[in-house]
Amino acid sequence: MNRQNRYFRRLSGYYAWFCVCFAGFLLALTVLENEGMPRLWIGHLFMFATIALYATIGVVSRTSNVTEYYVAGRRVPAMFNGMATAADWISAASFISLAGGLYLSGFDALAYIMGWTGGYCLVALLIAPYLRKFAQYTIPDYLAVRYGGGAGGRGGPVRALAVGATIIVSFIYVVAQIYAVGLIASRFTGVDFSVGIFLGLASILVCSFLGGMRGITWTQVAQYIIILVAFLIPTMWLSAKHADNPLPQVAYGSVLPKLAQREAQLALDPREHEVRARFQKEADVYKERLAALPASWEQGKVEAQRRLDTARLRNLSLADVRSAERALAAYPKTADDADTLWREQRARLLARAQPPQPHAAPFAGATEAESNARRNNFLALVFCLMFGTAALPHILMRSYTTPSVHETRVSVFWTLFFILLIYLSIPALAVLAKYDIYTSLVGSDFSSLPTWISYWGNIDKVNPLIQVTDINRDGLVQLAEIAIDGDVLVLATPEIGGLPYVISGLVAAGGLAAALSTADGLLLAISNALSHDIYYKIVDPGASTQKRVTISKLLLLAVAFIAAYAASQKPADILSLVGAAFSLAASALFPPLVLGVFWKRANHAGAIAGMVSGFLVCLYYMLRVHPMLGGRMDAAWFDIAPMSAGIFGVPAGMLAVVVASLLTAPPARGSDALVDYIRAPE
């Protein structure tokens, strides 16, 4: 106890120093900015300074000891483990996209807040303490020992299935994180997207490659501190500006009614009506063209060709010829392509023709049935995110790293506490930023647009993050004229609030830290599954500890490069599946994990049946309904979105475990003793 206390105090000392240095760094940069240091340099400095910091922590905590490498020596104090898990948890999506999602969809996006926090109840009550008591290295380890079976009762098949699920889920997720690293790096430092990816990769590798779990734990604690500061400073600033109270979590309650009032006002504004009517008209044109397919497609093609010809014949300016050429090149190749493309464009126009939805109103829908469908989807999404949280290997893996079962329970408490410090301010940021945009941007003059709009609008030419066009040509900004991508919200908040550019750099560093910390944890989960579960437990059980760690490091390197390569291809299909990773994890891993502790009768056959059928049901539903995978939304069951396929997968998995276990012989006596052992306190 005493040694643990001393260790805790020493660590606290280190991180206190870190905070002081970090504050000094911020101050120094603020001074330098006032002295006229260019923006780009600030971006570069932030990026390189933080990456160097993570690399240093990685080098300092290098190790080749098996327990240190896989589970950080099982001596991480609960509070620090909580911080590290929180950093592991707060991904690029939570940091950058969640506030934007709330801005765009209001109440309906709160499903993410509820799901991603509520899942920790399942982790704390049903899984984490038992895993810690079991005290091995990976999640497949636990499932294999608990369920046995296979050659020699070592649980080979269960282990292989669990490894497969771990790898699929973590890989989808890690590609998205590395993609986010590339985006942030390229947006803030102006380097090429793929260069950004490999810069991020370098820092990921230094700390996980050298230090394994130990390296990433101590890096993640530092990353959490940066994430927290980066998120809270701009949010508190906005909160002080609009609510005269620097505590955003408390203050935004007073802004909500004002926002609702402004929304109601904008919904009735005649100029807004005018802009929306234009979008409606354009959408109606698409409707007619869709109805007249395929004749309208041919006609459109001929027209596009003729426009190009006339542009060339009449010797119009080069720009006109180019735009006519582009229009022809972008014209759908077949009538079927035209059908999908025009449908998408019509949907986009229709969405912009809608009046603003009240931010706080739950499940707005034209009819009762539509509203109910949205409620059911909200419920299903919350369900999947919660159960997915409780089955993500890189989170569960962290419960092995504390000194005792009690510390594990406390550590989950700290995890949720640290996550909530950020998650409770995300809805606040969305409301505050929305209020700012609705009151100061909407209604302002086009000649005096704030600079952040042109800055962020020009950063990605293909899909502009924000676009404000004077559609009704009245010289004033209407709400309906603003097209905003959710991602820009957090990145631009400092500028929206009028803070110096240093804070923008800090926010970028925070986003980078969020993506890197999650990527670290995921890569380690994948390479541990491969090296420990496949190589050591199945291929070569006689390997020396030295060899195991070396193999693990090599595999980590290989996986990291494959993931970086995949991310550099900008794979739209993988990115659209990130939300689905939660459903897959929940369906495949949750039933065997929980029933393994709470139901002694669950056996080897049940575990296999549960994992396979949970995974397959989930996959089948996604293939059936997800448009990116060739499904159609018309085929949905109870109007549930494909991302929430876990709502069918988890019950299917549970049922399969129960049925298959009851149909086959009870598990061996050893498994009873094991269950008793993990249930008993230390």
Partner 1 sequence: MPPETPHPLEPDLARQQRLLAARATHWRRTRRLTFVLMALWLATGFCTVFFARELSRVTIFGWPLSFYMAAQGASLICLAIIGVYAWRMRRYDRDLARTMADGTRVAGGVAHGAAK
Binding site for partner 1 (CB under 8 A): 107, 110-111, 113-114, 117-118, 120-121, 124-126, 129, 249, 253-257, 360-363, 371, 375, 378-379, 382, 386, 405-406, 409-410, 412-413, 416-417, 420, 423-424, 427, 598, 676, 679-682
Cβ at position 438, least distance to partner 1 in Å = 17
Task: Select 71 or 78, whichever has its Cβ closest to partner 1.
Answer: 78
- Taking the alpha carbons at both ends of the chain, their separation in whole angstroms is 15
Answer for the pair 581, 649: CB distance below 8 angstroms, yes or no: no
Sign of the four-CA dihedral 466, 470, 474, 480: negative
CA distance 311 to 308: 5
Task: Select 189 or 415, whichever has its Cβ closest to partner 1.
Answer: 415
Task: Select 358 or 450, whichever has its Cβ closest to partner 1.
Answer: 358
Task: Select 259 or 551, whichever has its Cβ closest to partner 1.
Answer: 259
What would the 3-class secondary structure string for 617-641 be?
A: HHHHHHHHHCHHHCCCHHHCCCCCC
Task: Select 219 or 249, whichever has its Cβ closest to partner 1.
Answer: 249
Task: Select 256 or 515, whichever has its Cβ closest to partner 1.
Answer: 256
Q: Counting beta carbons within 10 angstroms of the beta carbon of residue 309, is it exposed (0 to 12), middle (13 to 18) or buried (19 or more)?
A: exposed
Task: Select 111 or 441, whichever has its Cβ closest to partner 1.
Answer: 111
Task: Select 130 or 536, whichever has its Cβ closest to partner 1.
Answer: 130
CA distances 599 to 48, 146, 552, 641, 654, Å, are 51, 11, 34, 32, 11
Task: Select 30 or 372, whichever has its Cβ closest to partner 1.
Answer: 372
CA distances 246 to 18, 20, 105, 238, Å, are 25, 22, 25, 8
Cβ at position 121, least distance to partner 1 in Å = 5
Q: How many CB atoms lie within 10 A of CB 271?
A: 17
CA triple 279-630-388, angle to 5 deg: 95
Cβ at position 580, least distance to partner 1 in Å = 21
Cβ at position 545, least distance to partner 1 in Å = 32
Cβ at position 349, least distance to partner 1 in Å = 29
Answer for the pair 650, 640: CB distance below 8 angstroms, yes or no: no
What is residue 484's three-state secondary structure?
strand
Which helix (H) or strand (E) segment holds residue 489: the answer is helix 488-496
Cβ at position 598, least distance to partner 1 in Å = 8
Cβ at position 26, least distance to partner 1 in Å = 29
Cβ at position 677, least distance to partner 1 in Å = 10
Cβ at position 360, least distance to partner 1 in Å = 4
Task: Select 271 or 406, whichever has its Cβ closest to partner 1.
Answer: 406
Q: Counting beta carbons within 10 angstroms of the beta carbon of residue 218, is it exposed (0 to 12), middle (13 to 18) or buried (19 or more)?
A: buried
> Tokens in use for 318?
């080069």
Helices within 390-449 (DSSP H only): 393-396, 405-423, 425-436
| CA-derived radius of gyration, the chain | 27
CA distances 140 to 163, 334, 615, 616, 639, Å, are 6, 48, 16, 19, 34
Cβ at position 591, least distance to partner 1 in Å = 16
